[in-house]
Amino acid sequence: MADELVHRVVDNGIATITLDSPHNRNALSKRLRHELLEALDGALADPEVRLLVLEHTGSVFCAGMDLKESRTEDAQNQGINEVPQLVERVWTSPKPVIAKLAGPARAGGLGLVAAADIAVAAEEATFAFSEVRIGVVPAVISVTVLPRLQPRQAHELFLTGETFDARRAVEIGLLNSAVSAAELDAEVDRYARMLARGAPNALAATKEMLRTPRPEDMRTDFANMLELSARHFASEEAAEGMRAFAEKRSPSWVR
């Protein structure tokens, strides 16, 4: 619908979810939060969807919380629960998620970027953890951001609120790739094609493995990983993948 703030379009197994609230720099207003959660849940429940691309209209990917709206709400209605839900949906999605940024991201928007499996931005995009400069703490987004960043860089950027560019975002682990604006679509498509070659159950299990804390004891870790490996080696998905390899064809999940 034309008046939606979030659009979801599925094409060839890719669900493109677009933030479309340029009047407030795609800030996480109450309405946008609700629509984004619905779009994510719809994509995750759709068996035709293999991966998600989170993108935006306008010049800004996401400016974080809608501060104008927040000033008129009480603390219980400022997305305290909804923002963690959104970030967690992206982080725990069994389907790969690509964040595509043609422009800046700030504060809560960076929580979404960090939660995505792959994050690609135009070189012109800028970033900042600006919370301390308005008297708040980047607490919620730290859950997904800190696992991505080098500790020394995290201390600097969280405490200073300094604006940094896409090249530095790649260097510190916030982004996977920074390209020219003209190359952005092609770079996202390149990652999407690679992700689409992965088997759905194997991708979901690999994502879960990557985000699960590892036990300190190496024997326990090996035992857990052997069980995981054996379970998937014995699956029909693995059997199809190995048949396809032997027959020099693409497996059934590759469109």
Name the residues annotated as catalytic.
131
Query: Is the Cα dihedral 196, 57, 132, 129 positive or negative?
Result: positive
Calculated CA dihedral for residues 235, 237, 240, 241, nearest 10 degrees: -110
How far apart (Å, rounded) are the C-alpha atoms in residues 115 and 98? 9
Provide the b/e sequence for 187-225 (b: ≥16 CB within 10 Å): bbeebbeebbebbbbebebbbeeeeeeeeeeeeeeeeee
Residue partners of 214: CB distance under 8 A and separation at least 6: 221
Helix axes of 200-211 and 236-246: crossing angle, nearest 10 degrees: 120
> CA-CA distances (angstroms) from residue 135 to 198, 224, 253?
44, 44, 49
Amino acid at 33: R
62 touches 111 (CB < 8 A): no
> CA-CA distances (angstroms) from residue 119 to 12, 72, 145, 179, 192?
21, 33, 12, 11, 11
Instruction: State both tokens at 237.
Output: 């998905």
Q: Is 173 left (phi over 0), alpha (psi -120 to 50) or beta?
A: left
